[in-house]
Amino acid sequence: MISDFCGKTAFVTGGASGIGLGMARAFGRAGMNVVLADIEEKAATAAVERLAAEQIKAKAVQCDVADRNAVRNAALEAVAAFGKVHVVCNNAGVGVGGEVGTLREKDWDWIIDVNLKGVVYGTETFLPLIRSHGEGGHFVNTASMAGLLSGPGMEPYSATKYAVVAMSEGWVQQLAPMGIGLSVLCPGFVRTRIGESSRTRQDRYGPSASGVTTGDRATQMAQAIEAGLDPDVVGQRVFEAVRDNNLYIFTDPRFRDLVEMRFAAIRAGFDQAAASEALKSVKSWAPLMPGAPQDQ
DSSP 192-209: SSGGGGGGG--GGG-SPP
Residue 19: CA atoms inside 13 Å, Cβ hemisphere, count?
27
> Which residues have C-beta within 8 Å of that of residue 94, sequence separation ≥ 6?
110, 111, 114, 115, 194, 197, 200, 201
User: Percent of the chain at pLDDT above 70?
Assistant: 93
Beta strands in the chain (DSSP E): 9-13, 33-38, 58-62, 87-90, 137-142, 180-186, 248-250
Q: Which amino acid is at 168?
A: S
Q: Which pLDDT value is given to residue 211?
A: 47
Cβ contact 44:70 at 8 Å = no
- The CATH number that applies at residue 182 is 3.40.50.720
> Which residues have C-beta within 8 Å of that of residue 130, sequence separation ≥ 6?
85, 86, 88, 136, 137, 180
pLDDT value at 212 more than 80: no
Please report whether residue 38 resides in a domain: yes
User: Is 121 one of the catalytic residues?
Assistant: no
Cα 188 from chain centre: 13
> For the chain, how big is the Rg over CA atoms in Å?
20
Q: Which pLDDT value is given to residue 198?
A: 83
Q: What is the dihedral of CA 49, 41, 157, 113, to 10 degrees?
A: -140
Please report whether residue 109 resides in a domain: yes
Q: Which amino acid is at 103?
A: L
pTM: predicted TM-score of the whole model, two decimal places: 0.92
Please report whether residue 21 resides in a domain: yes
| CA dist., res. 144 & res. 161, Å (int) | 6
Give the structural domain span for 203: 9-255
Please report whether residue 213 resides in a domain: yes
What's the mean pLDDT in 215-237? 79
pLDDT value at 214 more than 50: yes
Write the pLDDT tens digit of every residue in 125-167.
999 999 999 999 999 999 999 999 999 999 999 999 999 999 9
Q: Which pLDDT value is given to residue 207?
A: 87
Mean pLDDT for all residues in the chain:
92
The one catalytic residue in 157, 162, 205, 248 is 157
Write the pLDDT tens digit of every residue in 51-101.
999 999 999 999 999 999 999 999 999 999 999 999 999 999 999 888 999
Number of domains in the chain: 1
Secondary structure class of 247 (helix, strand, coil)? coil
Please report whether residue 78 resides in a domain: yes
Please report whether residue 125 resides in a domain: yes
Please report whether residue 63 resides in a domain: yes
Cα 90 from chain centre: 6
Please report whether residue 283 resides in a domain: no
Of 218 and 114, the one with more pLDDT: 114
Q: Which pLDDT value is given to residue 32?
A: 98
φ, ψ for residue 228, nearest 5 deg: -75, -175
